[in-house]
A and B are shown apart, each in its own frame.
Chain A
């Protein structure tokens, strides 16, 4: 893992080498504001917390994170630089991990720039700042989950647009897998254990728990294993698809 920081630094710098990073951050900040104040009725609720802010993150990320993840591998394959990267003396884990971490840290930077929300709510009332902190952790973990899925699908598709759409679809499935919409399709024929397993895959239930201030080890483990599993899948897909 010695060369992982080298890959990480290059990737992170490449976000800021193009206007993409700044456009992404601006869109994220504007939308998260709009969602909080208009859809989330931040003021009308009259409560000093940020649940109006965090509630919409799974949906906001559904479109923004795939946009961030789509270029991770698809661009390397399209421009042929993957041949350069894969013939340098780095392991798959260093390449996959370095790229993922750069995207994740970038998402973290965007998330940190929403700090005026925290300032606002502290100015208006006396919120539970511990719950806000876990909310941020949960949101960042959620972004990591989306990004790991996006990383794998970006390696699968050579075309960035296809990578974007695939990622949005798979992330959507992970969001709604706790909903009757999906569960009803299983409950008719599948054993209860499978229905429970599908329901437990849902991002939403995990994220809701964390964003309300409950930092359960099982939820953390869920996100960690989800990210690692998708990254392992990324490494496999990169190996299979790199030469196409």
Chain B
């Protein structure tokens, strides 16, 4: 369990994190969302003991990150932003160094390194120096380093930033395969990632908590939640659609003869819309119910909060 308690970080001019409090339980994959400069990385740096909070604190399974830093750090695997590694070392040398620092010796050390290497598929580049690797491989080295000691807490700062779609998919699969018994916190500004891997999303901006819920709950805050999009062969009767019970409004889409019918909060309008379509005998080529648009929720929440 991670308990974050009124965590605050003030740099010379600005308040980066402002009395942030929340808890994370084992088994949760927490997506940490926010615009650039929202305080995501700063929060992660405080959780891992890299930065000292100005006030407030965090406890990792009961270990206070300021007073019992080493004990807390033993439980954490951390991938810093940009996955910095010692570029002049080989992948093997680097991972053996990390294993050594984590207290593994001899055969145990070799097993740990081999295990991490297999999990992120680094076998081919094991004896190359890290500087010569592609961005995707470097990121995987960073991940291997973080999961090597099978930590109870995994903190990943933008783990898929700059990766190609296949690599992103691999990283997400890896995160999901690890998720069962761990606490995983990932920061990202890629919203599809949250829906893909996270069981919980926390949105912050300007250092303050704006929303905390499952990705589904966040989506349902969208004005597009339960909206119905219609694509017809001929112009559709907007007024009739707008007059249906539970409808909040109708929006035109750039595509020809395409409308999106918005639902009032908490209402389900699909039956009414489809009944109207049947009654009028419209030829409808596509008809979709939306779950909600996370990017729209994100924009609404964070608008004007950060640069």
Contacts and interface: CB of A to CB of B under 8 A. Distances in A.
Nearest to B155: A87
A206 to B, nearest CB: 36
Nearest to B52: A239
- Residue from A83, A87, A89 with most neighbouring chain B CB atoms (10 Å): A87
Nearest to A86: B50
A6 B97 contact: yes
Contact of A243 (B50, B81, B86, B87): B50
A85 to B, nearest CB: 9
A14 interface: yes
Interface in B83-118: 84-89, 93, 97-98, 100-103
A13 B49 CA distance: 27
Contacts, number: 68
**Interface band, chain B:** 20 to 34
Contact of A88 (B51, B73, B82, B87): B73
Given A2-B103, A3-B101, A87 B73 contact: yes
A220 B84 CA distance: 40
Contacts of A134: none
Contacts of B48: 87
A3 B103 contact: yes
A90 interface: yes
A184 to B, nearest CB: 40
Contacts of A86: 49-50
Interface in B55-93: 70-71, 73-74, 76, 78, 80-82, 84-89, 93
Contact of B88 (A3, A7, A17): A17
B182 interface: no
A90 B101 contact: yes
B145 interface: yes
Contact of A14 (B73, B82, B86, B103): B86
- Residue from A14, A18, A91 with most neighbouring chain B CB atoms (10 Å): A14
Nearest to B51: A243
Contacts of B81: 80
A81 interface: yes
Interface string A65-108: 00000000000000111011011111100000000000000000
A106 to B, nearest CB: 15
Given A6-B97, A90-B101, A17 B50 contact: no
Contacts of B97: 6, 9-10
Contacts of A17: 88-89, 129
Contacts of A9: 97, 100
Nearest to A18: B88
Interface string B235-258: 000000000000000000000000
Contacts of A83: 45, 50, 80, 84
A83 B103 CA distance: 19
A80 B158 CA distance: 15
Contact of B100 (A3, A91, A242): A3
B50 A6 contact: no
Contact of B84 (A2, A7, A79): A79
A14 B87 CA distance: 10
Nearest to B82: A80
A97 B21 CA distance: 36
A180 B81 CA distance: 52
A81 B103 contact: no
A87 to B, nearest CB: 4
Contacts of B103: 2-3, 89
A9 B145 CA distance: 18
A89 B50 contact: no
A92 B85 CA distance: 19
A242 to B, nearest CB: 7
Nearest to B74: A89
A79 B101 contact: no
A3 B121 CA distance: 28
A87 B76 contact: yes
B84 A84 contact: yes
A203 B135 CA distance: 48
A18 B84 CA distance: 19
Interface of B: 45, 48-51, 70-71, 73-74, 76, 78, 80-82, 84-89, 93, 97-98, 100-103, 129, 145
28 contacts: A2-B103, A3-B100, A6-B100, A6-B101, A7-B101, A9-B100, A10-B89, A10-B93, A14-B88, A17-B88, A18-B88, A79-B84, A80-B80, A80-B81, A80-B82, A81-B86, A83-B45, A83-B50, A83-B84, A84-B80, A84-B145, A87-B48, A88-B98, A88-B101, A89-B74, A89-B102, A90-B101, A243-B50
Interface of A: 2-3, 6-7, 9-10, 13-14, 17-18, 79-81, 83-84, 86-91, 242-243
